[in-house]
Structure 1
């Protein structure tokens, strides 16, 4: 198995591009796949630097319907015409941060290999997709600014368009979620409903980044409580992107070697 942080906010390879976005490249016994494609064509450029052949990718999973995870799909599709690109059908809805559009480029929906699904999907013995995350404990506070259009009306985003990828390999399970907008504790609760126990490894952003000033006490409480509960699991977490450096450092103080930073261009495994 091979896993590479192909695109991430921070740079881990001097020749790779870092941007506000996320893309994870994975090779399993039977697949070559991407979770998300970052914000721009950096996914293609970084793959070239790292010697990763994107034309051999057979599956792209879009974790949710935001531009910083879907922005490289059109560039990717210029060199790979056959990979199935799987997203929840609600990921195609318009999404906003305040008045700013943050949804996917609608040209993506015109691609012939797009597969819109509704709910969970078992691709094969290695790959499983799940959504349906309804819990709200330690819910990321940044979600309050995010909305979407449903039935012609702008409403608070409920993140039903978020899906998680589970990879089974060598007797271990990896859980991958782009941003954990639904809250990583609620995602793990949903995972347990399906698989019975916690995953061995998790790759995700925690959506705790604060762009306008310091975290509030309420935000700090969510960050600390989340880290305390995660530290009790026999799970290793790889995180970056929307977690934000201050939140990551707070969580690292609690989780220690159970939390590892992601960087653009770095091999995870």
Structure 2
């Protein structure tokens, strides 16, 4: 498995790429070339070009959830590339309209529109992209401390209701060192994601985790998350995007935290 960071909040010192508060990773595993999330703007495309990633060759697009900092880049991707044979995998609620404080924060496309641009494959249940790579689908809640207070509102069945971001998911890659988990924001709870990944693959060893953990405050949830991850003996931790500096500082007291920025390349 190979992973390259195309979009993150940060860029490395003296690495002249572009950053924004979004997520996009390019993943190669087995014979698949996967774009995981698309960021907020066209910088995913610009950074990919600078990093030598050929987006014309992607076989799959996977969305962690429908918020615009993960999905809006699709607007620019499909305006520049024709990808009718690429398979897009996402939770079926991913393309529902969303708002927060009066601002639209959902995907730039509806389900009907996205199905005309690529091979749309919605899934609430685990969906294998390849032998060693799986989209988890809807994540079960197994840890009481990982509540889902929600973010804004979503249009479901013609009604605008509080959005609990049930479409939030992750991708898991099986490597020789164990499972490597790729998240977007972990609205569903990073510990819930880890437990479900283990259940789906029947493997307890976690080689690494990269992505947003949606942790901001030094509160009970953060410390219970730290306890869970520490007891899970995760070998490589790459918290980024929606993880505050304060949360990272607390995590670093208990485990090694690795820096993430555009241009980071990982191989397992």
State TM-score, norm by structure 2.
Answer: 0.87
Deviation at 1:149, TM superposition (A): 1.8
Aligned to 1:202: 209
CA contact (8 A) 2:178 2:205 kept: no
Aligned to 1:60: 61
Deviations 1:90-121 (A, max 9, x none): 11111222332211002652423333233221
Which of the pair is proportionally richer in helix? 1
Alignment of 1:40-189 (within 5 A): 40-77=41-78, 78-81=80-83, 82-106=85-109, 109=114, 110-135=116-141, 136-139=143-146, 143-170=149-176, 172-189=178-195
**1:22 and 2:29 are equivalent in the alignment:** no
State TM-score, norm by structure 1.
Answer: 0.87
CA contact (8 A) 2:154 2:162 kept: yes
Alignment of 1:4-15 (within 5 A): 4-12=4-12, 14-15=15-16
Aligned to 2:196: 190
Choose 131-140 or 10-19, whichever is displaced more: 131-140
**1:239 and 2:239 are equivalent in the alignment:** yes
Structure 1 residues 200, 207: closer, same or farther in 2, change over 3 A?
same
Residues of 1 paired with 2:101 and 2:145: CA distance? Answer: 22
Deviation at 1:25, TM superposition (A): 1.0
RMSD: 2.1
In structure 2, list runs of 5 or more residues that go unmatched: none
Aligned to 1:3: 3
Aligned residues: 258
Residues of 1 paired with 2:100 and 2:215: CA distance? Answer: 15
CA contact (8 A) 1:131 1:160 kept: no
The SS at the match of 1:89 is coil
Aligned to 1:264: 262
The SS at the match of 2:209 is strand
Residues of 2 paired with 1:208 and 1:171: CA distance? Answer: 27
Structure 1 residues 59, 19: closer, same or farther in 2, change over 3 A?
same
Deviation at 1:171, TM superposition (A): 5.5
The SS at the match of 2:231 is coil
Choose 152-161 or 36-45, whichever is displaced more: 152-161
